[in-house]
DNA sequence: CTCGCGATATTCT
DNA sequence: GAATATCGCGAGA
């Protein structure tokens, strides 16, 4: 018997760095037609609002793209990067505070698979996990607390503090000293994280 | 194995 | 017009 508890609004109304760490070991559930895809989160990055040069909301600016980040915690912020890859973010904190957590890698839950190597390759990167979960702009601005298509679950997995590794974020060298913040978190020794 | 680069579309200057 | 929170391929070592 697997415990399946949908994550509620309160979860998202806490400090963003805390949420980024707590998300490890939680599950994303995505409903496509009759099928349900589930994947365990193994890697995240925090983006802290107006003061974080690497964040889209740096300086408190609002654009058509990033306005979703200003919504109440629990919404999905999905946008296109490099014209090809969708990125999944979870909005945190109250309305008006533009903070979010980028989901960088997940472990797909599969009943059977032939090649373990392929299994790992399915979702070990922010663009790939969106492809696997069939996430695109139609899911942007989706409220994950209410949604019937896409939400998060706690399946009772406990992650010990010693299993969480903090490191620098990836792909944001343009952000100067902000690029050095240890705001990327992943599960130690997990094969599904995007990079070592 | 590592490295370099092109794809491709949305956004901002 | 330039930049971008990436990916996958192909060349070379």
What residue segments make up the domains of chain A, in order of their start? 5-186
pTM for the model: 0.95
The parts of chain A modelled with pLDDT lower than 70 are: 196
pLDDT at A160: 97
Q: Which nucleotide is nearest to A56 (CA to C1')?
A: C5
- Measure, in angstroms, how far nucleotide C12 C1' is from residue A95 CA: 52
**A57 φ/ψ sector (left φ>0, alpha ψ -120 to 50, else beta):** alpha
Closest to A126 measured CA to CA, from A18, A4, A28, A14: A28
pLDDT at A115: 84
- Average pLDDT for chain A: 95
Which class is domain A5-186? alpha beta
Count of Cβ atoms closer than 10 Å to residue A127 Cβ: 18
Can you give A9-27 as a three-state secondary structure string?
HHHHCCCHHHHHHHCCCCE
Contact partners, residue A39, CB within 8 Å, separation at least 6: A27, A28, A30, A106, A107, A108, A109, A123, A129, A132, A133
| Nucleotides on strand B lying under 7 Å from protein C-beta | 7-12
* Whole-angstrom distance, CA of residue A144 vs CA of residue A170: 26
């Amino acid at each position: 018997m697997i415990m399946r508890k949908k994550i509620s609004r309160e979860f998202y109304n806490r400090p963003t760095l805390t949420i980024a760490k707590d998300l490890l070991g939680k599950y994303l559930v995505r409903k496509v037609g009759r099928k349900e895809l589930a994947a365990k989160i193994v890697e995240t990055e925090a983006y802290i609002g107006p003061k974080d040069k690497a964040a889209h909301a740096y300086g408190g600016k609002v654009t058509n793209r990033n306005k979703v980040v200003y919504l109440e915690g629990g919404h999905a912020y999905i946008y296109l990067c490099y014209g090809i890859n969708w990125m999944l973010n979870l909005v945190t904190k109250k309305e008006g505070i533009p903070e979010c957590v980028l989901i960088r890698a997940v472990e797909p839950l599969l009943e059977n698979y032939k090649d373990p190597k392929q299994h790992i390759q399915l979702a070990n990167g922010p663009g790939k996990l969106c492809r696997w979960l069939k996430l695109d702009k139609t899911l942007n601005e989706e409220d994950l607390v209410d949604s019937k298509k896409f939400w998060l679950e706690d399946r009772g997995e406990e992650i010990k503090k010693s299993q969480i590794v903090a490191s620098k974020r990836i792909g944001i060298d343009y952000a100067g000293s902000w690029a050095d913040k240890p705001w990327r978190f992943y599960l130690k020794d997990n094969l599904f994280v995007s990079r070592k």
